[in-house]
A and B are shown apart, each in its own frame.
Chain A
């Protein structure tokens, strides 16, 4: 079990550029989540996938954000026309559901985005 991985770990971009992040979940996990964490705050839910289907999106996920999980394995999160307010840590998590008695999610190391 290699854990959840994310790439890149850090991304610096200029305002207005598009960026794409990748998440590779734990291999047998069927659910994949994206969260955003700004400085001094806890993570906030963005969206989640059950296998390849995107089943829920938060109000935080504006039209500039899009996420995919084409084959039910890895996922990508794209931000178009980045704004300075998009600067944050983007965390990916995965889980295996149903799993008796608990629903813990396992997080990756995150991608830190800085928009200049």
Chain B
């Protein structure tokens, strides 16, 4: 069964610093996709970044980049130059190939707190 593990319940960072949020995954499939979502206190899940298993380069979206290490089955999110508005819950997710509709499996999340 596919599984997503986020081992950091909480992370603290100061404004303008970079932070890495860890995510490891377990799958026996060759083709899969990995996502990161941000969930502020308002509750809405905001899509941040996507990495396909066959993508040769690490995905980047503005201040977000994904450190994808396929052999280690890790897909860590790197946020550069943290801002106060980055304080939120962050979820790593994988497309579940057992569900034909590309449903997502989520990890338990990491709470990021950014201080000034």
B95 close to A103 (CB less than 8 A): yes
Answer whether residue B35 sits at the interface, using C-beta atoms and an 8 A cutoff.
yes
B33 close to A103 (CB less than 8 A): yes
Contact of B99 (CB < 8 Å), options: A41, A56, A95, A112: A56
Residue among B4, B37, B44, B107 with the most chain A CB within 10 A?
Answer: B44
**Contacts known (A41-B108, A43-B45, A103-B33); A55 close to B50, Cβ less than 8 A:** no
- Please provide the chain B residues from 44 to 101 with a CB less than 8 Å away from any CB of chain A in the complex: 44-47, 50, 52, 91, 93, 95-96, 99-101
Contact of A56 (CB < 8 Å), options: B4, B101, B106, B107: B101
Binds B, one of A13-21, A44-52, A67-75, A76-84: A44-52
Query: Which B residues touch A35, using CB under 8 A?
Result: 104
**Contacts known (A102-B52, A103-B33, A104-B50); A93 close to B45, Cβ less than 8 A:** yes
| A interface, size bucket | 20 to 34
A42 close to B103 (CB less than 8 A): no
**A-B CB contact pairs (8 Å), 30 listed:** A31-B101, A33-B104, A40-B108, A41-B106, A42-B4, A42-B107, A42-B108, A43-B91, A43-B104, A45-B99, A45-B103, A48-B99, A50-B101, A55-B100, A56-B101, A56-B103, A58-B99, A93-B45, A97-B102, A102-B50, A103-B33, A103-B50, A103-B95, A104-B47, A107-B45, A107-B46, A107-B47, A109-B43, A110-B43, A112-B43
